[in-house]
A and B are shown apart, each in its own frame.
Chain A
Amino acid sequence: MIFPFTAIVGQDEMKTALVLNVIDPAIGGLLIMGEKGTAKSTAVRALAELLPEIEVVKGCPFGCESGGFLCSSCRERVEKGDQIEGTWQKMKVVELPLGVTEDRLVGTLDIEHALKKGEKKFEPGLLAAANRNFLYVDEVNLLEDHIVDLLLDSAAMGVNTVEREGISFTHPARFILVGTMNPEEGELRPQLLDRFGLCVRVVSVRDKAPRVEILRRRAAFDLDPEAFMKDWQEEQDRLAKDITAARQRRDGVEAADPVLDQIVSTTIQLSLDGHRADIVILKAARALAALRGRKAVGADEIKEAAMLSLAHRAKRLPFEEIGAEKGKIEQVLSGLRIA
């Protein structure tokens, strides 16, 4: 049983950033950096409870979206003229353990099938399971380089292409990458860092009262998880409902030209490379407005979205810590007005 998401004390930034990714998966994931023992992993695992249902092709292990980009076997079915049927399935949090091997990540030949039938069949790996779902890597900075390479490869294209052991297979692999890390344990490769749409830094709560509350909830959960879950069910349901509603409203939220203008001038002032930051800010701000039930993106949403999207993208001096430029971002954002 997993500790309920809504029972996590404080850490609002982290919780919001996770929820925004559920509302709009195109935001591109989240990196959670922080000290040891600050509920990072708990929050990600707890998110699973709140996830909505998505429509997938029935019987497809790759979670293909009917009408979207299809995997090799779905495409074959379509070409043969088969009718593709949709079904609803809850989004998942797929965990990528540190000890994962290459073949389990990308998928490989199904050995038992090959032995019994003498034919080659593709056995889906974790990237298949993660398609349109969350892919969670705890201690992402400790992940082996060769695994990171494979992740980056499919994250870039949203496709996993497998050419091994005489197998040739393609399937969509658009996952929401969520990583947690303790920066003291080692750095993250810049290419991987850039893949994360948002980034938050969590620190432990310093005040006594909330700390007592954390301890109390944790102890209550450990002693009687079922009773504890029951107490929080109402809160959980409410958030799940809000998220589903926000997902539906999301694309209708207006982002007028002055808003776009503000986003761009913010990133220009911080002299960021590339356009990814602009897009991420817009998407996150829109998801945030949708969550709040607003019809249009406002200055508040841009500010908050920018804080979440820029911390790991701002230019750093060599050896400067990620997040150290928070002050500079805040300064730029403080001048933000929407005409």
Chain B
Amino acid sequence: MNFSTFIGHDDAKLALVLNAIDRRCGGVLLWGEKGTGKSTLARLFKDILPEGGPFVEVPLNITEDALLGAVDIERALSEGRKAFQPGVLSRADGGVIFMDDINLLPPAVVALIAETCDRGVHVVEREGLSARHPARFIPLAAMNSEEGAFSPHFLDRFGMCVALSTLDERGPRIDILKTAGHQAEAGRDKKDLNELHRRIARGRAQIGTVSLSRTIEEYIVSRCLEAGAEGHRGEIFLLYAARAYAAYSGEAAVSEKHVDAVVPLVLSHRVRPREETEEEIEAPDHSENHDCGEPPEKDRAGEAHGSAKEGNDREEADSAGDDTSGVERQKTEPSKEEVFETGKSFGVKKIAFEKDRLKRNESGRRTKTASFGKSGRYVTSGFFDNRDVAIDATLRAAAPFQKGRGRDGFLVIRPEDLRFKEREKKTGHLVVFVVDGSGSMGAQKRMVETKGAVQSLLLDCYQKRDRVALIVFRKDRAEVVLPPTSSFELAAKRLRELPVGGRTPLAAGLLEAYRLVRRTGLQRPRTRCLVVLVTDGRANRSLTQEPIDREIGRITALLKTVRRSDYIVVDVEDKRSLTKMDLAVRLAQRLDARYFRPADLKSENLTGMVREAKTVQMSND
């Protein structure tokens, strides 16, 4: 198979062709579900690149040394010279850097590549080396949208972005099968590719002469303004894309039709999703839930979900009675239970914690930790022998003594010269969700929003490779409904099934969390825990005869004795209610917790295109 026999996805192919014509088009990000041919197509880009341009792939396990370059060990030892062994960024000038699964690459690696791409020069300041190399390359990336979001800040650096979906039509699908089975005519394949080469070469030769009128420049800006594109990169990339397209079409001037043709490629990822689009994407989610055969309340819940604003307005009218409504309901119908639908989920803000002093092997993507093994970023060197020799530091330690030791050709390194790398990487947490399932949470369908928020946090935990556990407190006790697990499908299921009703034994919930966290500390002493308490704070049932407040105070004090555990309080109290009491705020202070209202958890920047796919998948089981 070659680039021109790759079937379908014409927009993606056009994007690549335009980049082959003009590097200034700024690269392409291909995204879609698994098995849509993203990576295959990206690799076929080689077919149409100008001669001799390197095509460098960035593997997921890439080390910073390999990316940025490092001391050349061989030459250092044999010649005693500090020579530079070029990394990926020094080898890509005039070609392509391909990042498959870019959303799984360590963010630091992506940041380094983006920084260099932006500058066009690779600046090396490492391990005693200082160098400058030209680095004008086309960034090319593929990502599987189910594996989590990708920072919009870096998304913006890509000139173009194309979504690949599974082809729905019968014809092309059969063609794909044929191609995969090598049944296509080899002769014709070659001819098509040659024709494409010819057009690209012509485009490249002509691009300098393609003219651009003032009207077209204004048209480009209008299109960006209409689309609500952020920043000024959209306009500039749009201009280059339209110009490359005009050159590709063999025309002498850029016209509106060229601009229109490339707008979807250039602007789709620079626009914040509109509300309607989110609704549309969520639609299948609803139907799935209906199929699961949930209790009849779902219709009412669905209504609140669909029009949260209306719900709030209505709420205000009877907000005076809000405080007591939950309690009264219990009195009149003590056994009443409801299962609310899961509200809309959203992208979550970055939540990470301070590094502690432990070394860990557990990997993850949330919080920095010193690393035990050879994985992670080389931070500094030391004497602790972890079999990971820091060449630069060792050489420096040995260097001054070479004369005295009678060096003859090879360096004389003694055991006392050896230095070892101390590395840093990221680790996941055990995230214990402690969710209030009391009757008051059912008031005004608060649970719909709450479940949406918890689901969003779960999704974030999946992406950060945390483990999760779920504790629910309601009626007279707290219960671990999900012991620590890495199964997010199971977690989402437990969340969906979560019933609401009864009093609020907050103290019991906290105590159960304490037990779980403490147990974890004994079993896996290096695990960092994160307790996420989701409540309106209105505790009304105690464990003992003590006043509720004092009891909670004692348990929070207990929780604070746990080492390696952090706290988050998500306050779901209705702050517009006249009777708001801010009890959860006090609780957060006592626990020294980070405090969020559900809306504050939202990452404002999410381009949104990526997360829905996974949400739908999770709710499907």
Within 8 A of B (CB), among A67-116: 95-105, 108-109, 111-112, 114-115
Cβ contact within 8 Å between A36 and B378: no
A38, A208, A212: the one within 8 Å of B231 (CB): A38
Which of B81, B124, B221 has the most CB atoms of chain A within a 10 A radius of its CB?
B221
Which among A54-62, A182-190, A281-289 touches the partner chain? A182-190
Indicate if A233 sits at the interface (CB-CB under 8 A). Answer: no
Cβ contact within 8 Å between A126 and B125: yes
**Complex Cα distance A119/B129, Å?**
19
Which among B137-145, B178-186, B394-402, B479-487 touches the partner chain? B394-402
Indicate if B222 sits at the interface (CB-CB under 8 A). Answer: yes
Distance of A231 from chain B, by nearest CB (Å) = 17
Categorize the interface residue count of chain A. 35 or more
Indicate if B80 sits at the interface (CB-CB under 8 A). Answer: yes
Indicate if B579 sits at the interface (CB-CB under 8 A). Answer: no
Cβ contact within 8 Å between B230 and A204: yes
Cβ contact within 8 Å between B217 and A216: yes
Interface flags for A38-63 (1: CB within 8 Å of B; 0: not) read: 11010000000000000000000000
Q: A103-B128, A146-B380 are in contact. Are A111 and B395 (CB under 8 A)?
A: yes
Cβ contact within 8 Å between A111 and B128: yes
Indicate if B151 sits at the interface (CB-CB under 8 A). Answer: yes
Specify which chain B residues have a CB less than 8 angstroms from the CB of A96 in the assembled complex. 125
Within 8 A of A (CB), among B230-277: 230-236, 239
Specify which chain B residues have a CB less than 8 angstroms from the CB of A98 in the assembled complex. 108, 111-112, 115
Specify which chain A residues have a CB less than 8 angstroms from the CB of B595 in the assembled complex. 318-319
B67, B81, B396: the one within 8 Å of A108 (CB): B396
Cβ contact within 8 Å between A37 and B156: yes
Q: A112-B81, A211-B232 are in contact. Are A99 and B605 (CB under 8 A)?
A: no
A39, A114, A215: the one within 8 Å of B400 (CB): A114
Distance of A85 from chain B, by nearest CB (Å) = 26
Q: A115-B80, A142-B111 are in contact. Are A184 and B152 (CB under 8 A)?
A: yes
A103, A146, A214: the one within 8 Å of B232 (CB): A214
Specify which chain A residues have a CB less than 8 angstroms from the CB of B239 in the assembled complex. 215, 219
Within 8 A of A (CB), among B367-405: 368, 377-380, 392-393, 395-397, 399-404
Interface flags for B90-131 (1: CB within 8 Å of A; 0: not) read: 000000000000000000100110010010000111111110
Cβ contact within 8 Å between B68 and A219: no
Specify which chain A residues have a CB less than 8 angstroms from the CB of B220 in the assembled complex. 215
Cβ contact within 8 Å between A100 and B125: yes
Q: A98-B108, A185-B151, A219-B212 are in contact. Are A123 and B128 (CB under 8 A)?
A: yes
Distance of B524 from chain A, by nearest CB (Å) = 25
Cβ contact within 8 Å between B153 and A120: no
Indicate if B218 sits at the interface (CB-CB under 8 A). Answer: yes
Indicate if A144 sits at the interface (CB-CB under 8 A). Answer: yes
A99, A118, A166, A212: the one within 8 Å of B217 (CB): A212
Which of A103, A115, A184 has the most CB atoms of chain B within a 10 A radius of its CB?
A115
What number of B residues sit within 8 Å (CB to CB) of A? Answer: 70
Indicate if B82 sits at the interface (CB-CB under 8 A). Answer: yes
**Complex Cα distance A120/B424, Å?**
30
Q: A109-B399, A211-B221 are in contact. Are A36 and B156 (CB under 8 A)?
A: yes
B127, B208, B403: the one within 8 Å of A104 (CB): B127
Specify which chain B residues have a CB less than 8 angstroms from the CB of A182 in the assembled complex. 153
Cβ contact within 8 Å between B125 and A104: yes
Indicate if A139 sits at the interface (CB-CB under 8 A). Answer: yes
Cβ contact within 8 Å between A215 and B235: yes
A118, A146, A205, A219: the one within 8 Å of B403 (CB): A118
Specify which chain A residues have a CB less than 8 angstroms from the CB of B111 in the assembled complex. 98, 139, 142
Distance of A39 from chain B, by nearest CB (Å) = 7
**Nearest A residue to B392, CB-CB:** A103
Q: A37-B231, A103-B128 are in contact. Are A111 and B377 (CB under 8 A)?
A: no
Q: A111-B395, A112-B81, A184-B605 are in contact. Are A215 and B151 (CB under 8 A)?
A: no
Indicate if A218 sits at the interface (CB-CB under 8 A). Answer: yes
**Complex Cα distance A117/B401, Å?**
10
B127, B214, B231: the one within 8 Å of A101 (CB): B127
Indicate if B281 sits at the interface (CB-CB under 8 A). Answer: no
Cβ contact within 8 Å between A144 and B379: yes
Within 8 A of A (CB), among B581-617: 595-596, 600, 603-605
Known: A145-B368, A215-B221. 15 other contacts (CB 8 A): A36-B157, A99-B124, A99-B125, A104-B125, A108-B128, A111-B396, A112-B80, A166-B400, A182-B153, A184-B152, A186-B350, A204-B231, A215-B220, A319-B595, A319-B600
- 8 A-B pairs with least C-beta separation: A37-B231, A118-B403, A114-B399, A37-B233, A104-B125, A184-B605, A36-B156, A114-B400
